Amino acid sequence: MGVGILVEDLNAWYGTTHTLQDINLHIPANHATALIGPSGCGKSTFVRCLNRMHETNPIARATGVVKMGEIDIYNDASPVEIRRRVGMVFQRPNPFPTMSIYDNVVSGLKLNGFRNRRILDETVERSLKQAALWEEVKDDLKKKSGASLSGGQQQRMCIARALAVDPEVLLMDEPASALDPVSTSKIEDLIFQLKSQYTIVIVTHNMQQAARVAENTGFFLNGKMVEFDSTHKIFTNPRDKRTEDYITGRFG
């Protein structure tokens, strides 16, 4: 089961560039939340702040409060502990090329020293089924390398890899932007099914995608969050002029 995320006064910098400015937002548990906005507006930085991946870049830093359930992730826990609870799917599929499909999926568990064969087998089946990839790969789980799959399959395998550690939150940074329409719709179906069990935050350039999968949508512009509301409201009756301009395609 997922947990909600409360963000208060989040600011982030890359070097001297102030990429996120005073973000305040509540992401409800077990729902999908979409973040939209033009390129470079800070949406990716924002999700990377939610699992403290932002600070892996030596010139990056962040201030503010991010509460995941009861835990203040910047003060109560180490980045490693946070990332064990938060799954992340990146823009480009990044399978481990030297590992089989099976090992790719359980890499998060094996990394943490989990060795129970039976549970590993079950986890591979469960998470590949959740990622709608099981039927396509079940016969060569240990024979084929993760990198031998097609792009769309690789991305679904990466989703399975993130789900295998039973995360409470799933962050997706433009998960379908490198994929063809068929793979994209598979991934959208997936998000639709997963959001009852996980808190999902999805960054997307595709406004139809946000409208299809997310209950709530936030619009980012130039490092600020312009508007956050129910997806329906954002797309039919936005409060802010800039949001309206963006969703009607007048800029961005």
Partner 1 sequence: MSSTRMTPERETSSPLPVPTPVSPPAAFADMAPAVASTTLSPIRDYLSKRGSGRLADDSFAAVMLICACSIFAIVLFIFGILIMHSRLSLAQFGWKFFTTQAWDPVSGDFGALPFIYGTLATSLLALCMAVPLALGVAIFLTELCPRPLRAPISFLTELLAAIPSVVYGLWAVFVLVPLMRDVIGPFLSKTLGWTGFFDGPNFGVGLLTASMILAIMILPIISSLTRDIMTAVPNSQREAVLALGATRWEMIRVGVLRNSRIGIVGAVMLGLGRALGETMAVTMVIGNHPDISKSLFAPGYTLASVIANEFSEATGDLYLSALIEIGLALFLVTIVVNAIARLMVWAVTRNAPARVI
Can you read off the two tokens belonging to residue 67? 């509460």
Nearest distance in Å: CB 143, partner 1: 8
3-state secondary structure of 68: strand
Nearest distance in Å: CB 59, partner 1: 9
Select 132 or 147, whichever has its Cβ closest to partner 1: 147
> Would you say 210 and 231 are in contact if contact means Cβ atoms under 8 Å apart?
yes
Binding site for partner 1 (CB under 8 A): 51, 53, 56, 58, 80-88, 90, 92, 94-100, 107-108, 111-112, 143, 145, 147-148, 158, 161-162, 165
Q: What angle do CA 129, 88, 215 make, to 5 degrees?
A: 80
Select 8 or 14, whichever has its Cβ closest to partner 1: 14
Nearest distance in Å: CB 197, partner 1: 19
Nearest distance in Å: CB 174, partner 1: 13
Q: Is 135 exposed, middle or buried (0-12, 13-18, 19+ CB in 10 A)?
A: exposed
Select 161 or 242, whichever has its Cβ closest to partner 1: 161
Q: What is the DSSP letter of 179?
A: S
Select 85 or 242, whichever has its Cβ closest to partner 1: 85
Rounded Cα distance, 134 and 172, in Å: 21
R_g over Cα of the chain: 18
